[in-house]
Amino acid sequence: MIRPSIYFASAAALFCLSQPAVPAHAQTQVPPAPAQTTSEPAAPQSAAPAAPAPSAAPVFPKPEAANFTAATPTRDEVNAFLQANWGYDENRMWQVQAILKTPVDGLSKVVIFIGDKTGKEKPQALEFFALPDGKHIISGDEVIPFGAHPFADNRAQLQQRADGPYRGSADKNFELVEFADFQCPHCKEAQANMDKLAVDFPNARIVFQNNPIVQIHPQALRAAEYGVCVDKLGGSTAFFQYAGAVFEGQDGLSTPDGATLTLNSATTKAGLDPAKVSACAQTPAVKAQVEASIKLASDLGVTSVPMLAVNGRMVPANAPYDMLKKIIQYQAKLDGITQ
């Protein structure tokens, strides 16, 4: 068994593999609990000095053969998986430290050491469990696709089921699918990124896919239904004019009457008749199309917006643009796409 002494001080903190380590705000399906207030003074800070930040790339302990007791996955398979997830970051370094049998037949425990070549970040240890099917792992409380091409299944689903309006290429080989909610302020902020992506990746198919969070955004569903009808009646160009106008007037969605004015105004700016779009939005077929888009997001494990699927790889759409662009370029390279 792997000895506790070789763990780094921060080994208890599990690193989430399902999303890149980029700062971004998101609107989740369930609103957070309100913060507790108290009149008591805050507890004093510990007098113990903080450990100094590392100033050079960490040196990982040499892996011991005794810590590789499981037949699967192999070290090469784990490294290929991590390369697919983390290879976009030239400063990220890691080492597979252990692949251990567990009491469950076919379930293996994998231990990874993670570091930063610049020495700016503390090294960490990551633990996850590789499932017997060889296609999934459990990291924290999430089940995540595993393998050298972990986003391939998501990519195939999106190519088949993402049916929203798009800009750019008609070809689905290089596809960026944005899941968004018209009433979500973070989705509004993400539109600047989406506009830049349309310029920087003209050979990509950039799709807008509705994912209204009706629990906290009651007018988002109607905005999505209007958008489907604008696309049906006026095409993608009209839709993106409508979407831009709705996001610009997003504050108007705070009440039902305000939403009516905002959506009708956005429809007019897109060159369409608000009465026709309103009637279309109330049809069962349109409502079913929005529900299908919500179901697609759920099936892909999207629990917050704005989210961008880059050939199946999930990245917050409002991440810092330089990082977002780097991840997209890396994923395109992995998929053999010439840019």
Any idea where the domains of the chain sit in the sequence? 4-21+53-145, 152-334
pLDDT for the residue 22: 56
Using pLDDT thresholds of 50, 70 and 90, give the confidence band for residue 63.
very high
- Using CA atoms, how far apart are residues 281 and 279, in angstroms rounded to an integer? 5
pLDDT for the residue 45: 38
Using pLDDT thresholds of 50, 70 and 90, give the confidence band for residue 28.
low
Cβ atoms of 15 and 114 closer than 8 Å: yes
Bridge partner residues of 116 (DSSP): 92
What value does the mean pLDDT of the chain take? Answer: 88
Q: What is the dihedral of CA 198, 199, 205, 211, to 10 degrees?
A: -10
pLDDT for the residue 201: 98
Using pLDDT thresholds of 50, 70 and 90, give the confidence band for residue 338.
confident
Please name the amino acid found at residue 186. H
Place of tokens 């199946």: 312
pLDDT for the residue 23: 56
Using pLDDT thresholds of 50, 70 and 90, give the confidence band for residue 26.
confident
Task: Please state which of the ranges 26-35, 118-127, 307-316 shows the lowest mean pLDDT.
Answer: 26-35
Q: What would the pLDDT profile of 90-114 be if each residue is shown by its tens digit?
A: 999 999 999 999 999 999 999 999 9
Task: Please state which of the ranges 48-57, 159-168, 225-234 shows the lowest mean pLDDT.
Answer: 48-57
Task: Please state which of the ranges 5-14, 21-30, 109-118, 248-257 shows the lowest mean pLDDT.
Answer: 5-14
pLDDT at 37 over 80: no
H-run or E-run covering 27: strand 27-28
DSSP class of 247: H
pLDDT for the residue 327: 98
Q: 46: Cβ–Cβ under 8 A, 6 or more apart, which residues?
A: none
Phi-psi bin for 301: left (phi > 0), alpha (psi -120 to 50), beta? left
Q: What would the pLDDT profile of 213-227 be if each residue is shown by its tens digit?
A: 999 999 999 999 999
- Using CA atoms, how far apart are residues 293 and 288, in angstroms rounded to an integer? 9
Task: Please state which of the ranges 119-123, 237-241, 259-263 shows the lowest mean pLDDT.
Answer: 119-123
H-run or E-run covering 309: strand 307-310
- What average pLDDT does this structure show over 47-69? 76
CATH number assigned to the domain with residue range 152-334, chosen from the 4 options 3.40.50.2300, 3.40.50.300, 3.30.565.10, 3.40.30.10: 3.40.30.10
